[in-house]
Structure 1
């Protein structure tokens, strides 16, 4: 997994790299600027476009001036720079790049009391005003300039971070931030790039390597990490010649009401397609025909009355998923309570199981350690209180997963997996085409299936989330129906197992 760093940790990585590699701070700036330019050219190859680069007088502005010079060398001749001289301070590397820009014949205009730009005719505006050193909201001339740039409605490319954007910490969609079409960021995504507030300011971001010392970066005890394809390939287990259905565990799905059997069917089918040896659905009698027609591989235990069916032998199951379509009646509450009192193995709780616990929080201590909770944002806030920002949810997720001894999967564009060890692991697979009802039910079935197959619950959650998103990516298109995604799961797993075999 890749460590995500705070702004202070990134600066420390810069300093460590300069001290321990044969590289000066200027050389590192040149390296970063060159990486930016390569990514910029790939996205905007038209050399005839007019480009205006807005620079501060710190190192982010130094990057901007170096980028201006390098782009001109690459044939972008309609390029100029504007320097926001709102402070008397300048860094040494900025001053060096300023002199080099003048020697290269680049047109440079200073912005002082006038924050312009009243007559900005550029096609593309590169934002290199302020970088990760900002730790407070924009104010004064900086704020006025950011507002004016946004009012221009130009195509904006930001260097490392958009001006006014906080790398970490609470943000609001009402903050003054230069809105970026593309942010080309260095070495790692900033933590806040992965939280929904960033969507108001950043349409897309791209990470470019600049050669910071990876051993130093990975030595930091960061609570926030990113799950990678290599992690998934490493976690997955190959099936062996003499394995059989008993090897891959037995999943129990407790879900569905007569009006919401679709949720139970999706969860059970996902369990089968993720590889559980056996899957049993505990469903109301009205759903039995639908189950038999849709998924004949799944066995059934019928719920005829309130409480746990007498025929349900909990000891024979290797994992239990509870909640999709279960309803929030008192009968469902009693069923959930009885189940939690009767099981000792970890359970996967989703949807109505979470809603019932939020309404009857006295049940939370009944949740076995090692369990997996899979809330969306509203369910998360019902469980753990209202939050003003997604950063606050990150902090709550880390705390609650650790204190409760559970894994919490907070579903989102970049789903967060909070582990009992106090980590927040971001998943980057998936697509907006998966934004449709039933996707969460599929994920629940996948995670329960992986637990039954012997994966540690937190690992099962990571695998489930990543494979779920990757299956959606593989299908593509405008919308990915959950029932279509389920069919893609075995193919997705097989691809990663083939990759594992080549290592």
Structure 2
């Protein structure tokens, strides 16, 4: 599972790569620039669009100069602007500046705002002003350059990091950060890209494997990881042809109240659809006919007229999920408290169940180890209190999960699963999932997987992945606006198939270089045609 490393760790990985591969920093920068060029060229394919590259005078600017050189050598219409604000120029910037001059390309020096170029909305802007090492907000002309880029209404591609965005701390001046349409970041995902506070600055991003030292990366310690398809695929447990329903557990879902039976219907359907051997529901009387009609595969027992008042059940459940649509009735809450104090079975708690826990925090000590909680941000805030920013929120998430030995699924664009001193982000973000009932379906999926003898942590990772994957798959037929919670269940089979599908090896004109090497610089008359993708 890809680690999310800090800026300091990535600098150390650079140094380890230089040392262990007997190369210079200039070689690593050349390698990175070529990979960026390849990515751009594969998408432009010679398109005559004007590419405007704004460079700082540090190493991120050096990356921009390498990209500019290769774009120029391959016939692109490139305009290069160096923001000459009196900042110190790094050696790598100077060397790549000289390499451009050697092939007859002279960047334009910008010393004041009146020298900013005219930019068409049809142009492409490459932002190579600042990288991940920034520690204070850009000021004066640098800030104005960033605002100029943001107001240009052109496609903006950032190199490694949107300029002005910090790697490991919150933004202090939102007017000093580039709003990138796409970011090419190096080697590992970046924590800043996954946080809601930074949504203005990051739309899409791609991680380029630049061949940093794997020994260093494997040994590097981190609290943060990004979950990808192959990681989830390794969790999946295939079924034996001699299996029967008894092998796949019994999920009991407890919830519902008058006007909120839909929440339970969605959860129960999801638990059935994800493959739980048996599924039962404990609901109030008002939901009996609804549930038995809409989910004939599930069994139902009732308690109370409009709300559940007593959490006693007869099902021989493997795992219990509760909270969906429970409401806030006082008598029901008393029954919930009594249930938590006496229950010994594995649990998943969602929705109103979380709100009752927030009012009775002593109950957190009564939860079985590895109980799964599935809060959205407001529910999580009720449990842990307010946070200063997203970084503070993640610290609270780690601390809360560790203190009570819980698995916490903090729902969001990049849903975060906290377990055993680590946070694992789901790599699929789709706004189609921002719809009523989506969380109820997720609870049904995860609890249904827990019943099938997946470890609760594995069930959470797999469930979150399937849940988000359905939305991506559905976009072939739906839009983000028309996608509803029941569509998650509808597309769940497609999500299973997509996970298990064997991908054909990609045919490429050349094998990608994974490790940077010393390379010569070719002139216009000596272009390396193998760079074409």
- Residue 263 of structure 1 corresponds to 263
User: Deviations for 1:89-143, whole angstroms, at most 9, x for unmatched residues?
Assistant: 222211110001112222312223x144444235222111111110222233322
- The match for 1:464 is 463
Q: Higher mean Cα deviation, 384-393 or 149-158?
A: 149-158
Q: Secondary structure in 1 aligned to 2:207?
A: strand
Structure 1 counterpart of 2:496 = 493
Instruction: Count how many residue pairs are aligned between Structure 1 and Structure 2.
Output: 496
Indicate the SS of the match to 1:320: strand
Q: Secondary structure in 1 aligned to 2:183?
A: strand
**Could you tell me which residue of structure 1 aligns to residue 406 of structure 2?**
406
Describe how 1:184-199 pairs up with structure 2 within 5 A: 184-199=184-199
CA contact (8 A) 1:430 1:468 kept: no
Distance 2:137 2:90 in 1: 22
Contact 1:307–1:338 (8 Å) recurs in 2: no
CA distance in 2, matches of 1:289, 1:302: 11
8 Å contact from structure 1 (residues 340, 368) kept in 2: no
1:268-279 mapped onto 2 (5 Å cutoff): 268-279=268-279
C-alpha distance in 1 between matches for 2:359 and 2:172: 29
Equivalent position of 1:99 in the other structure: 98
* In 1: Cα distance, 2:207 partner to 2:462 partner: 23
Q: Does 1:426 align with 2:425?
A: yes
Residue equivalent to 1:51: 51
Offset of 1:364 from its aligned partner? 2.4
Aligned to 2:85: 86
Q: Partners of 1:143 and 1:233 in 2: how far apart? A: 44
Q: Is the Cα–Cα contact under 8 Å of residues 55 and 64 in structure 2 kept in the other structure? A: yes
Deviation at 1:172, TM superposition (A): 5.8
Is the contact between residue 450 and residue 459 of structure 2 (CA under 8 Å) also seen in structure 1?
Answer: yes
Q: Which residue of 2 aligns with 1:297?
A: 297
Return the alpha-carbon distance in structure 2 between the equivalents of residues 309 and 435 of structure 1. 31
Q: Aligned-pair distance for 1:68?
A: 0.6
Partner Cα separation in structure 2 for residue 346 and residue 4 of structure 1: 31
Aligned to 1:287: 287
- Whether the aligned pair in 1 keeps the contact of 2:147 and 2:176 (CA below 8 Å) is yes
Tell me how far 1:489 sits from its aligned partner. Answer: 2.0
Unaligned runs of 5+ in 2: 506-533
- Does the 8 Å CA contact 1:2/1:218 hold for their aligned counterparts? no
2:52 & 2:429 partners in 1: Cα distance? Answer: 34
Offset at residue 153 of structure 1 (A): 3.1
Q: 1:309 to 1:147 in 2, by over 3 A?
A: closer
1:406 and 1:117, CA in 2 relative to 1: closer, same or farther beyond 3 A?
farther
Q: Determine the C-alpha separation between the residues in 2 that align with 1:9 and 1:486.
A: 41
| Whole-Å separation in 2 of the counterparts to 1:497 and 1:33 | 35
Query: How far apart, in 2, do the equivalents of 1:173 and 1:474 lie?
Result: 37
Q: Distance in 1 between matches of 2:35 and 2:424?
A: 27
Aligned to 2:310, which of 303, 308, 325? 308
| Aligned positions of 1:163-242 closer than 5 A | 163-171=163-171, 174=174, 176-242=176-242
In the alignment, is residue 37 of structure 1 matched against residue 40 of structure 2?
Answer: no
Q: CA deviation at 1:149?
A: 2.8
Map 1:238-257 → 2, pairs under 5 A: 238-257=238-257
Q: Is this contact kept in 2: 1:80–1:108, CA < 8 A? A: yes
User: Distance in 1 between the 2:225 and 2:491 partners?
Assistant: 27
Look up the match of 2:12: 12
Match of 1:449?
Answer: 448
The TM-score with structure 2 as length reference comes to 0.89
Alignment check: 8 A CA contact 2:341 2:363 kept: no
The 3 A distance-change label for structure 1 pair 284 and 210 is same
Q: Partners of 2:172 and 2:379 in 1: how far apart? A: 21
Instruction: Note the aligned Cα RMSD (angstroms).
Output: 2.0
SS at match of 2:109: strand
Q: Which is worse superposed, 41-50 or 218-227?
A: 41-50
- SS of the counterpart of 2:85? coil
Deviation at 1:49, TM superposition (A): 1.9
Cα offset for 1:472?
Answer: 2.0
SS, match of residue 165 in structure 1: coil
* Structure 1 unaligned spans of 5+: none
Contact 2:46 2:75 in 1 (8 A): no
- Once the two structures are superposed, residues 59-93 of structure 1 have per-residue CA deviations (whole angstroms, 9 ceiling, x without a partner) of 111101111100011211x3121212224522221
